[in-house]
Structure 1
């Protein structure tokens, strides 16, 4: 069982997991791809949650409120020691519940293609996310996929 907290990203473990996430993205995405850094995750329109087992961070993820009344999932990452143990699902369920409570119409996310993204695609689809059109300021490329979950 994981303890989920709203995370202000001041703990060393939270910052290290975000740094691990950013390093993984830098290795897996084409040049010019955009993802949120630490300062971006500390903006008022973004809420970050982390799941903990005792004193160890297991997973992290964020909800960014978009101007059109929808939400975007950002920076989802599970610590390698906790992969397959439900930590990511715990964070995703937290984000979906928060988006619903905030009366958002839809949750969306952008992810990539290739072997590094097969597991995340399957994970989100397991929770009802469906592939769809680009959203917000994203442009469709050969690399990216857009997934959406209707909350209405």
Structure 2
């Protein structure tokens, strides 16, 4: 009502709604949204570019089962969250190092997807490659 008093703005069609409905709509939008990342990954085994592509690029899309990560367990509910990795593009940058471009479902714990979080995220980059994998850097691209 106060906004309309100045005469410059007119508001119509506003209705009260339940907060749980709004929260559900926001959550549904987040789940459908995709995010792009670039990670620098170190592995315990060396791979050729062709091997990385065969084991990672060809595996996508892949559905993950992510148990709430150890690093956020103090502030997030313990739950298993299914998340999708839509695309993976590895680029070998050195002995046991590669960049990994990812397109993921919003809400995916990317660090845990790389290292597996003590088996709490399956599959992980490490299990897909059959070795230990660790993330050194993670950048959000979009």
Q: TM-score range by the shorter chain?
A: under 0.3
**What is the TM-score of this pair, normalised by structure 1?**
0.27
More strand by share: 2
More helix by share: 1
